[in-house]
Structure 1
Amino acid sequence: MVDYSKWDKLELSDDSDVEVHPNVDKASFIRWKQRDIHEKRERRGHEIDELAISIDTNEALMQRMEKLLALPIGDLIHAGVDGTVELSRVATEDKTKAKEYDEMIESLIDQIESQSEADYTKNLKDHKVKLSQVIEQQRKRYAELKEESTKYITSEDLKTGFDSFHLNKVKKATPAKPLKKESAKVQEVETINKPSATPNTSPTSHSTTVSSSAVAKSTATDDLEEPEAYEETLEFANIPMGDLRQCYEYVTKHPFIVSEEQKDAIIMLAFQQKLKGQTQMMKRYVYNALLLQYCASLGKDGINLFFNRIMAPNHPALQAFMKDVDFTVNHIENRCKILAQESNEDGEDVDGVEQIQLHAVDPNTEIVINVPAANSEEEAFFHTFSSDMQTAIMSKDLTQINKVLGELSVEEAEDYIAKFNEIGVLSVEEKILDATEWQKNEYAANESYDGNIPKDFLQSVIEGQTPMTEQKEDEVLSTADIVD
């Protein structure tokens, strides 16, 4: 059997089964009944609050009257009004309402004041009886109202039984320290002071440089204040190309890498990867760098806006993005081809292998190759060299010697230079040039390309633009102009 008693405490104002007089609009009657219910409920609540306050006040007054009746009446008469008020105070009463209670006792004393102790006592007891009756009536009415208020469930009776939740806050990621760029540039100066050197030569010096194409490119960009990549940026750059879900989760966890600065840092790394011949790695870096650029360009909520579009099937945003990736990849490849071509023309190594190369430090001097004399100790030592080195020395061409040294490791090349000093293969002499030849050399020096990465080119790679150079008629186009 179903127990429906739990619904007895629901007071409905819009009961569909209510019957009203035919001349009374049902909707209006329901609204009136609803308003009546809320008004009665509000009046009942105010009356309950007033009764509670009145009962507390009357009970405190009752305690004071009981204390006065316990004292000798003669003392109360001689104490006067103020003294009687002070004697009536109870230690347990509410101190915040003490002034109010004092005023009520003062009013009571004024009413019952008498020179006769019997009359004083009688009047005080009568007021006590009346006050007790009032308190009893108030308590009875208070109980009735409370019982009536509990007959129905109201919004004031509803309380939250339990309400707790746990919020796991994700710790905000902070960028790690940027990785410092490593660059190496070593220059050694060897002095040729062998006594057996060719006469009439000054014991000056020549330069031996340890060079690497990749290192040279890096040091050439130091003045550009190249942006430094965070460790988190490098991790993001190595995410496989096309894995948009992993990229989205990573940038959501590390939003601080979504900036133009970190995008530029990845583009720099892509450029270096292409110089090393790592084409696939370069494409991956470009792809992920442009992801950061697009997110940063869309504003505060750019991460969600961009990935929601690009991850949608067949969305035009993905096609536009891939076109931008292809354009940037082609741009870097074309620039690296120009750099490789220029490096080859200048005889610079492009494979990233360190080399020892011989050059004169003073532009007014030149390195002279001396072949050891026949049947001498130097010639015997000379024959211990490799056949390629012997052939290069016999040609007396410094370019050929540098070519052979470039194929050797740095340690082997340094060992050869030490042997050159021992047998006097190299010496430095002053140049003697006429005016015409001097002008030609000056022009060639001014128009030469040093093999380093131009600043303008790196900046163009960062900005994703293809720099164009205009060639005027009858104007010499230098290699620097081609790269810039």
Structure 2
Amino acid sequence: MPIDYSKWDKIELSDDSDVEVHPNVDKRSFIKWKQQSIHENRAKRNQDIANMETQISMYGNLNKRVDKLLVSVSDNELADRQSVSRFLNANFDKTEKPQGPNVDPEIPPFNEMVEDLFEQLENDAKKQGKNPKDGSVIRKFVLEHRAKIDRVTAEAKVKLQELYKEKELHISSDDIKTGFDSGFLNKKETEEEERKAANMQKVAAANVSAQKGSEISLPKPRVQFIEYDDVMKLAPETEEFGKLKVGDYKASEKYLLAHMQIISEQQKDALMMTAFEYQMQDNPKRAYQVIHQSELLSYIREIYNTKKISFLHLEQMTEVIQLFFKRVLYNENNPAGRKSFLESVQTKFNHIKNRVKVMEQEQEQEGVETIQLKSLDETTELEVNLPNFESTDPEEQRKVAAFNKLPTKMQDALKTRNLEKVNDVFAEVSLEEAEHYLDLINEAEIIGVKALLENEEDFKHLQDEYKNRNQLEDLNLKEEHNQQSNAAEDKPSGLSTTDTVD
């Protein structure tokens, strides 16, 4: 069997005794400089890799906490830093902090980092003129920050891969390991290899009857958690689990032991999201059912995460499932565990009910058409001109009659001469009713237009224009009066219009 020596081509030697240098350069000094440069670059590369790995791990731990907050906590609690702190300490290890060779030992734990983030977001809200105590505002800021972290993490992963490749191109003697004094296990890591292994197992099982005298032992392919890129996508197995009866914990335990791959963060959240759909369909019983089942997945997954196993370890997951049901749900001597679990389910159910109610109200408000009074010209504004209620002038009495046809609420709003209060009344009524109000307001000539003058020159110009217009009107009146006088003087005496016609 030929031996592949190509891997030795990548070795970066730090002491090259055969190197050729310029006659004016000391060979020993050159080799020393080269050694120092190689070691410095290698140390910096290893340090950059360690920093990147620590940074990516830290972002992952922070995102895990932020994501759980966004799913589990209401807007009001999200704006209360004490509620956020209590939730974090109740659901995560408050002493857990970043680990790594270059990590500052004084760095705060992950929970404190998240609390500092919320404090920073409140300050950002104040700077932008928004209410920092409004949970919906804080939720929006958190989502924007979460997107930034995702972008930074993606960039860090790309940089890390580049460092890995660069390290492979400059391997040192420390990276070379002989294959003659150590054993190795050929692990099937790719999906294609796992599929082939599964097919081989099926063939072996089919041929067992033909090979009674021999036993075939094949490695089992690793079972993976169900994790879709689409966070809303629900696996058929998870959907079936959501239909299991509330309180039938024996059935739930049996199902999870047979379908461990659904116990993933993505499937748990996707199942929880379906509760919104059922609640919006006015099916609270079904909504509570899927929340209950999703919470089972959540509790078990949190316990499994403490083992820090990135893949689905069947034996470990089996132990976690059995331990959870035994100590939390089956323990008759200490019912506090089941009580706490059911309280958590009820809290999330109430949260979803309230959120759906708010969403429905927002949809109703967005779907209603109404009339609002507003000037379309920036140089003018609308003003309220009430009729003279004590006047005996027929025109004013006509306006008062139209005003009295309006409902009392609209009359009171108009009397304040505040256009915002008038618009508030318009917003409360239907479009057809608002149009009727507007017709009466137009009939009473209540809404007028007032010009806005930006400076003193505009005022003087308008004043001069008004004076000129009055002078012109006076001149026209004088000319008309003179024409009538002249006509009277030129008219022959003793003649009547009747005589002229004749």
In our comparison, the structure showing a higher alpha carbon Rg is 1
Greater share of residues in helix: 2
Q: Using CA pairs under 8 Å that are at least 6 residues apart, name the structure with larger relative contact order, 1 or 2.
A: 1
